[in-house]
Amino acid sequence: MQTKKSAFAALAASTALVLALGACGSGSDSGSGGGSSEPVVLGTTLPLTGPLGIFGPPIQAGYEQAVAAINGAGGVDVGGTKRPLKLVVKDSKSDPTVVTSTAKSLINDDKAVALLGSVTPPLTIPFSVVADSEQIPAISPLTPTLAWKGANAGGWKYAYDVFVDETEQTLVNFKASDLVETNKKVALFTDTEEDGKAMGALWEQQAPAAGYTVVYRAEFPVGTTDFSQFVQKAKDSGAEVMIAQVIPPDAAALWKQMKSLGYAPKTAWPEKGGTVGFPDAAGPLAEGATVFGWWTPTNGNVGGQAVYDANKAKFGDGLGTQAVVASYAMVQVMADAITRAGSTDPDAINKALGATNGLDTVWAKITIGPDHRAVVPATAVQWQGKNQVTVWPKEQATGTFLAPAPGLAAQG
Amino acid sequence: MSVPTRRTLVGLAGWAAILVVLVLLPGRVERGTQEVLLNLLIWVGVAQAWNLIGGVGGQLSLGHSVFVGAGGYTVAMLVIKGGTGWAAGLLGGALLAALVAWVLSFPLLRLSGVYFTIGSSAVALMALAWMVTWEWTGESRGLNIPLEAVPDRAVKFRVVAAVAVLTCVAVSLVVRSSFGLRLMAVRDDEGAAAALGVSAVGVKRWALVLSAFLTGLVGGTVALNQVSIEPNSMFGLKWVVTALVMVVIGGMGTVWGPVVGAFVVYYLLDRSLEDQPVVQALLSGVLVIAVIVAAPGGVVGLVEAAAARVAGRRTRSRAAGPTAAKITSPAGEGVTHG
Amino acid sequence: MSVEALVNGALLGGLYALVALGLSLVFGIMRVVNLAHGIVVLAGAYAAIVVTRVVQVDPLLTFVVVGPVVFLVAALTQRLLLQRLLGHSLEAPLVATFGLLLVGQGLFTFGFGTAPLSLDAPWGRSGVTVLGLTVQAVNVVAFALAVAVVVGTQLVLTRTRFGTALRASAADPATAGTLGIDIPLMHALTFGAAAAIAALAGIVYGTAFSADPNAGLPLLVLGFTVVVMGGVGSVPGTLVGGVLVGVVSVAVGGLLGPVYSPIAVNLLLLVLLLVRPRGIARPAWLGPLRIGKAPA
């Protein structure tokens, strides 16, 4: 008797569960046909929380402002009718598996006709996989393009990536260091994450041609807090150019230990660990730390300065705001593709997106290549106070390169 | 300890019916609904498999992310480098996870209580640290399964549904078996169980191996769903930590607890509050605390207590304190029915 | 790997010991594994950051305010929440403190964002040279504090009436209760003191490294490791365990490369658990521990 009751309860519960889920999923049922004045839905899944949570808000701001600007001008032209854009934002919690589920949800539940991406290969690769498997066009800013390309040997079909090329980006450290006098000896501190490994190899590879010698390299697991014996070795190696590719908390610890042990290289690069908020993490030692950037007022962009200035107060004069600009441009590229496609059919948008050629955006002039990448030139920016000043290329510089890095230099 | 055959058959029929409903779903519901259900079923699988050792067996393992990762990586490696199909890959992943668990059980099961928990977390952290540096499995880059090698949406859903139902069937069979009774006896009082001739380590070992087999199977489906995998997402503590929360909220050691817990945590908390990530984190913490303070038997415990109250005196002797049953110990009524 | 590196690692072990001491005390006296311990360490760092934003003082001085506040909050949490779970089983307090971990992580994310923040002090960014060895000043400070706190705690436990009562309530709560010792009060004071020590560790940690909301779990694992290595519940053992972790990390990092440090530390932890599940130095006064079952 008890058995029947429990079996029945089991069935009832599971049915209720299925029904409840069904009810929640079946809301709107509109297709993506053209001709109407319904909003065109763009979806994005961003790291608003979790370890990459600092990157979510500026990207979201860029997407929202671009959508507002386009809607303010009447919307996006789809086959002769102006339709408003609608942006749907979901939190990926900096977790690749959540990226996958939220990206699918954007397509299935929110009926997004195209997707906008976020940062770093671990998040952007699964995001791009969803785009390819669901056959919905997707474009990402701020994800190094070679690593992204390398993750899909067969070539991406619906996913696109606009950012720097790592080969050029790793040369920036040397070219910018050429601006000051050093002994051209390099110490590398890289972590075991994908970009740490890949870029570490590129720095080693490219140093000789750029006239530099890597005299010391150490590899660290993420979460390393005690770097002291390796700092000592780097100091003993006499390297005057120091490049690190470790996450922000590790970079803060590394900088403090360099200062404590009196290692004061002429140029010091915390790279991904020093992108945003480095002075909060490393205090006064952040002064003079240099990392790569991706936008300058004079890099050939159209209208970038206005977007930059409008966000400077909130995201700081530096890479946070450069991320806003880059994200803003993704909406421009997508809107342009939708207009050229003349419909919101994902395949038509995908085709038009792939044909993007010489489009003027707030970020730079953007041309998408046959490998679905658009490469934006890398720059070098240096922490000076609470701001990041562009110091290389020289003709686009907004300030002078301080060397040796003042935060690490010995006092008095 | 006789196994009530008829009751078991009825239970199995119930699960079969659920499976049939799930298998028929693709194409009959919206894609979005299907995706939500797919993720929910993955979580049911992970939570239920953990429940076997953590709830029924009372061994709070923090090492289960190793089995999720082993299952997922094996599928990817077999498909990419071995050229096998995904189905063989799934089985291979589950077997490898079980083998890993069997090997690990020798050192880990010498530890009990909190020491087991700490030891298992050390194993998980070592595995993660190792996977990040292992060149053969793509180091921190991880692996990318070619899209054409993964099953299509409908097949993938059916596979995940079958795996999730399998974990539930496994647990419901175990709690009714004499093996399950021995396992719970060991959980409740290892000394007394040993005095009655139960080999505590042996029972725990097979529970761990079975739990790992099922976890590996689910991990394999995670990889097929994810397509591109890397160490932090497959070997991260997230899996076991979330499973633990789900099982606690649903009801530890019960068959329906993990199902209910997965629904509450994944659907009600994660999805409904996805635009309020901070509220979500706070709420899941508060909920966990509230459950453990006010209803240590979880949602299922609450329901059983209510049912027992309705049923009244007739079953009083059996239903005595079902709420506290899961936590304070006695054999866990409501699942075993002796 | 040089002598200098090993000395630096050993000194840094002082910080590890500070992180672990509270965990060990709570475990030894209350038999509770506080999964929120890492969050308490972070709470110390964040609280100090807030104080230094208001008044610019040395981070260590903020302990005058931070210590009592954290003590009070923790003692209340213990009294109002955890105490009622103690009679149950192993997993009840474990799960509850896990809930506290989630809540803390959420609160810190909300209040401070996910980017790392750190405390700045001259001793956090300078080195000292003793006998020709250059080591970080922050490690010297951490070690000195650890020795002071460990010795102080040990003296309180062994030389005061309060300590005697505490030890009694740990060894045999039932008998201690009948002798008139207010066990819930003992537990609340222990939990508060453990949290205050954790907060002190957090201030040093935030000055040496940085604080971010996701560091709670790694700090907890670090604490665990030290506790197990030094012997659960043993106060001097935490110092031994901390130094051991510091030296092993440095030695393995220097010999094989830093990538192998965490693997080696976890492996050592596992091996120690197996061969000496009670740690290296376990005090006799704790009596036999049966952690699987809490005493009634």
Higher pLDDT, C42 or A411: C42
Tell me the average pLDDT of chain A: 90
- Closest-CA distance, A266 to chain C, in angstroms, reads 18
Mind telling me how many Å the CA of B87 is from chain C's nearest CA?
A: 33
Q: Which tens digits make up the pLDDT trace of A310-329?
A: 999 999 999 999 999 999 99
Is A11 within a domain?
A: no
Would you say residue C296 lies in a domain?
no
Residue A199 inside a domain? The answer is yes
Chain B residue with Cα closest to C271: B107
- Please tell me if residue C111 touches chain A, with a CB cutoff of 8 Å: no
Residues of A with CB under 8 A from a CB of C: 49-54, 192, 218-221, 223-226, 228-230, 232, 248-249, 252-253, 256-257, 259-262, 276-277, 280-285
Nearest chain C residue to B247, by CA: C95
CA–CA dist C78, C185 (Å, integer): 10
- Whether residue C294 is contained in a domain is answered as no
Least confidently predicted of C27-41, C162-176, C266-280: C266-280
Model confidence pLDDT, tens digit, residues C116-159: 999 999 999 999 988 888 899 999 999 999 999 999 999 999 89
Interface probe with B: pick from C86, C91, C227, most Cβ of B within 10 Å: C91
Nearest CA in chain A to C53: A280
B45: which residues sit within 8 A by CB, 6+ positions away?
B160, B163, B164, B167, B214, B215, B217, B218, B221
Over residues A340-365, the mean pLDDT reads 96
pLDDT of amino acid B313: 56
Tell me, yes or no, whether A265 and A390 share the same domain: yes
pLDDT at A386 (0 to 100): 93
Residue B222 CA to chain centroid, in angstroms?
A: 13
Backbone angles phi, psi at C293, to 5 degrees: -125, 125
Of the partner residues C33, C92, C266, the one whose CB lies closest to the CB of residue B296? C92
Q: Are residues A149 and A193 located together in one domain of the fold?
A: no
The answer to whether the Cβ–Cβ distance between B117 and C274 falls below 8 Å is: no
CB-facing half-sphere around the CA of C289: CA atoms within 13 A: 24
Interface test with A, best of C136, C138, C204, C222 (most A CBs within 10 A): C136
CB B255 within 8 A of CB B168: yes
Task: With cut-offs at 50, 70 and 90, classify the pLDDT of residue C276.
Answer: low
When divided into structural domains, chain A yields a total of 2
Across A138-147, B22-31, B286-295, C89-98, the highest mean pLDDT is recorded for A138-147
Is C141 touching A (CB cutoff 8 A)? Answer: no
Range of the domain at C39: 3-286
Q: Which residue has the higher pLDDT, C86 or C4?
A: C4
Domain-located, residue C292 = no
Q: How many CB atoms lie within 10 A of CB C285?
A: 14
pLDDT exceeds 50 at position C281:
no
Rounded CA-CA distance A139/B156 in Å is 26
Q: What is the number of structural domains in chain C? A: 1
Residue range C76-96: mean pLDDT, rounded:
83
Q: Which of A48, A92, A229 to mutate to test the interface with C (most CBs of C within 10 A)?
A: A229
Q: How confident is the model at residue C248 (pLDDT cuts 50, 70, 90)?
A: very high
CATH of the domain at A308: 3.40.50.2300
Task: State the average pLDDT over residues B288-315.
Answer: 84
C120 touches chain A (CB under 8 A): yes
In this prediction, residues C85-108 reach a mean pLDDT of 84
What pLDDT score does A302 carry?
96
CA distance B280 to A179: 49
Tell me whether residue A206 is in a domain.
yes
- Within 8 A of B7 by CB-CB distance, chain A residues are 3
What pLDDT, on the 0 to 100 scale, is given for residue C49?
97
For chain C, the distance separating the N- and C-terminal CA atoms, rounded to the nearest angstrom, is 51
Inter-chain touch A21–B33, beta carbons under 8 Å: yes
Task: Say if A34 falls within a structural domain.
Answer: no
Verify whether the Cβ–Cβ distance B147 to A48 is below 8 Å.
no
Q: Which of C104, C109, C267 sits opposite B126 (nearest CB)?
A: C267
The mean pLDDT of C242-252, rounded to a whole number, is: 95
**Nearest residue, CB atoms, A280 vs list C9, C115, C127:** C115
* Interface contact flag, A192 B222, Cβ < 8 Å: no
The region of weakest confidence among B1-5, B154-158, C16-20, C264-268 is: B1-5
Q: Could you tell me if A199 and A278 lie in one domain?
A: yes
Q: Give SS3 for C27.
A: helix
pLDDT value at position A231? 95
Q: How confident is the model at residue B19 (pLDDT cuts 50, 70, 90)?
A: very high
| pLDDT-wise least confident of A78-82, A142-146, B192-196 | B192-196
Q: In this complex, which of C117, C136, C138 lies closest to A280 when CB atoms are compared?
A: C117
What's the pLDDT tens digit per position in C179-217? Answer: 888 888 999 999 999 999 999 999 999 999 999 998 888
Where does the pLDDT of residue A357 fall: very low under 50, low under 70, confident under 90, or very high at 90 and above?
very high
Query: Which residues numbered 72-111 in C keep a CB inside 8 Å of some CB on B?
Result: 81, 84-85, 88-92, 94-96, 98-107, 109-110
| Residue C226 within any structural domain of the chain | yes
Contact partners of C by the rule of 3+ C-beta pairs under 8 A?
A: A, B
When CB atoms are compared, the residue of A221, A248, A257 closest to C115 is A248
Chain B residues in contact with C263 by the CB 8 A cut-off are 126, 129-130
A20 belongs to a structural domain? no
- Structural domain for A238, as ranges: 167-293+380-396
CA A17 vs. chain centroid, Å, equals: 39
What ipTM does the predicted assembly reach?
Answer: 0.90
Looking only at the bridges linking them, the beta strands covering A185-191 and A379-384 are unpaired
Rounded to a whole number of angstroms, the distance from the CA of A91 to the nearest CA of chain B is 6
In angstroms, the first-to-last Cα distance of chain A is 88
Q: Where are the domains of chain B?
A: 5-238
Task: Tell if the CB–CB gap between A193 and B18 is shorter than 8 Å.
Answer: no
Residues A113, A178, single domain; the answer is no
| In the predicted structure, residue B3 carries a pLDDT above the cut 60 | no
Sequence-separated (6 or more) residues with CB below 8 Å from residue A242: A186, A187, A189, A234, A258, A263, A265, A267, A268, A269
Q: Give yes or no: residues A284 and A314 share one domain.
A: no
Strands A213-220 and B228-229: unpaired
Q: How confident is the model at residue A11 (pLDDT cuts 50, 70, 90)?
A: very low
DSSP E strand boundaries for A157-314: 159-163, 185-191, 213-220, 241-245, 267-269, 290-293
When pLDDT is averaged across residues C72-83 and rounded to a whole number, the result is: 93
The residues in A 151-190 lying below 8 A from B, measured between CB atoms, are: 151-154
**B210: nearest Cα among B91, B101, B301:** B101
